Amino acid sequence: MFTASAEFYDLIYSTKKDYKAEAANIAALLRRANPGSRTILDAACGTGEHARHLAAEGFAVDGLDLDPSFVEIARRKNPGARIIHGDMADFHVPHRYDAVVCLFSSIGYLQTLARVTAALRCFREHLAPDGVVVVEPWFAPGVLDPNRVTENVGEADGVRVRRICHIEIEDRISRLRFDYDITDATGTRHGKELHQLGLFTPEEMLAAFRDAGLDAEFDPQGLTDRGLYVARSAA
């Protein structure tokens, strides 16, 4: 999926995303929800940047991701963690966690409500007693502007990455077409990626939580104005 950008992912978001502040907010949320929280599974952990900062907050954090390149990067960043290569909609590990988190809209990559519900069931299966599930959603239908074009540039250590994003909407799928210009000492090369994420309403997401055996509450603002779901196992 991140075939063109995995090694540059952190560079692209270095000036765009405040992982440290987001991790501090998640840590505070977990401590309020369950003061005894200590262990976290970061589902769709990406390069392990949230995991790294949550570990600095005092949590023991494991990760799970479908992209082998991200798993490798996350393992290098978090040498004391278990970083698992797997599908968040179909995984089973012999560990239970005080919290399972799925951040930065990664849940949208599942594309269908059936797959979302399957993932939420897996999250519930891996909760310790009094555990909490935290999910940051992708956008709801009608929010994204298909006419908007965005540009991000990251630059460090002699490498400059420029990413242009075009958005297409077809029914309940958003398609993000990324074009990359990657410049280093050898010159400039180009890359392309297509990312497809499902568009779900808050009502549909709350129903998916219920179907997975979880009682959820929705904060429409969340960490980055995309909203945030906080859930526990249903009684």
What integer best gives the mean pLDDT of the chain?
A: 97
Whole-number pLDDT of residue 88: 98
Encode pLDDT of 154-173 as tens digits.
Answer: 999 999 999 999 999 999 99
Domains located in the chain, CATH noted: 17-139+201-233 (3.40.50.150), 149-198 (2.20.130.10)
Strand partners, 169: 174
DSSP 37: -
> What CA–CA distance (Å, rounded) separates 228 from 138?
10
**Which of 104, 113, 172, 115 is CA-nearest to residue 144?**
172
pLDDT of residue 93: 95
Q: What confidence score (pLDDT) does residue 15 get?
A: 87
pLDDT value at 7 more than 80 = yes
pTM: 0.97
Quick check: helix, strand or coil at residue 212? coil
